[in-house]
C-alpha cells in the first residue's frame, strides 16, 4: 500500500525543518520579564494594621437598611531604599457585592476618639482621587519637578492612621482594598495593593 503526502504537507514539513535548524543554532533561556533599571530599584513595603478590621456602628435614625459604620486602620510604608508615598485610595467590596468608597479621615492614632456621629476632628480626604496625605510636602527629585508626598528614608517606615466611615446600606462585612502609589527618588512610581477583611 502506498501513501501519498499532499503538496502542502511537503511545504509544511520543509518549513518545519528550516525552523528547527534555525533554533538549533542559538541557545534558548527562559528569564523573567525585563524591568527598566530604575523601576527595579524600588523596594517599597506597603502594609496595613490590624490585619482584620472590626466595624464600629454609628448611631443614626436616617438609615432604612444597613447601619452606618466606621473602622480604623494604619497604613505602613517603608523600604530598603528611600520611598515616596504619593497617594492612597480606599475601596470596600461588601459581601453582597456592592462597592463603596468611604469617607477617609486622617487621625493622630488608632485610639483617637471619634464623635458619636462618626466624624473625627480632621477633614476627610477627597476620594476616589489619590490625594492630599496628612503631612505631605514637596519632595525634590533630581532633574525633575518636586513631587508632593510623604517621604520615608531608607530602612525606616511611616505609619499613617485613618478612620474610614461608610454610609447607610453598606454591609459591614467584606474586603477593604487599599492602593498606594509609591516611588523612589528618581520619580519612578508604581501602585501596590493591600486587602484587609472587615467583619
Pick 174 or 46 by higher pLDDT: 174
138 CB-near residues (< 8 Å, 6+ apart): 146, 147, 148
The single residue listed with the C-alpha cell 477633614 is 123
- Domains of the chain (ranges; CATH) run 43-115+122-198 (2.60.40.1470)
Residue among 149, 147, 155 at smallest CA distance from 132: 149
| Strand ranges in 80-156 using DSSP code E only, listed in sequence order | 83-94, 99-100, 103-106, 137-139, 147-152
> How many CB atoms within 10 Å of residue 191?
13
Q: Indicate yes or no: pTM above 0.75.
A: no
**What integer pLDDT is reported at residue 65 of this predicted model?**
77
User: 157-166 and 69-79: which strand pairing?
Assistant: antiparallel
C-alpha cell at 149: 508626598
Range 148-184 burial, b when 16+ CB lie within 10 A, else e: ebbbbeeeeebebbbbbbbbeebbbebebebbbbbbb
pLDDT score at 132? 56
State pLDDT tens for residues 86-123: 989 999 999 988 999 999 988 888 776 666 556 665 65
- Over residues 36-66, the pLDDT tens digits come to 334 345 567 889 999 999 999 988 778 887 7
| CB of 120 closer than 8 Å to CB of 105 | yes
Amino acid at each position: 500500500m502506498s501513501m501519498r503526502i499532499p503538496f502542502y504537507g511537503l511545504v509544511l514539513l520543509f518549513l518545519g525543518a528550516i525552523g528547527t535548524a534555525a533554533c538549533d543554532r542559538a541557545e534558548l533561556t527562559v528569564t523573567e520579564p525585563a524591568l527598566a533599571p530604575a523601576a527595579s530599584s524600588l523596594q517599597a513595603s506597603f502594609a496595613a494594621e490590624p490585619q482584620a478590621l472590626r466595624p464600629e456602628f454609628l448611631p443614626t435614625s436616617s438609615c432604612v437598611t444597613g447601619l452606618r459604620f466606621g473602622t480604623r486602620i494604619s497604613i505602613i510604608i517603608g523600604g530598603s531604599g528611600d520611598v515616596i508615598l504619593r497617594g492612597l485610595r480606599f475601596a470596600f467590596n461588601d459581601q453582597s457585592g456592592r462597592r463603596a468608597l468611604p469617607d477617609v479621615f486622617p487621625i493622630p492614632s488608632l485610639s483617637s476618639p471619634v464623635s458619636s456621629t462618626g466624624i473625627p476632628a480632621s477633614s476627610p480626604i477627597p476620594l476616589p482621587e489619590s490625594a492630599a496625605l496628612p503631612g505631605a510636602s514637596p519632595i525634590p527629585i533630581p532633574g525633575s519637578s518636586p513631587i508632593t508626598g510623604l517621604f520615608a528614608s531608607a530602612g525606616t517606615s511611616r505609619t499613617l492612621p485613618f478612620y474610614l466611615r461608610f454610609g447607610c446600606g453598606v454591609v459591614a462585612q467584606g474586603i477593604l482594598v487599599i492602593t498606594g502609589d509609591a516611588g523612589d527618588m528618581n520619580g519612578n512610581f508604581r501602585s501596590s495593593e493591600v486587602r484587609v477583611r472587615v467583619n
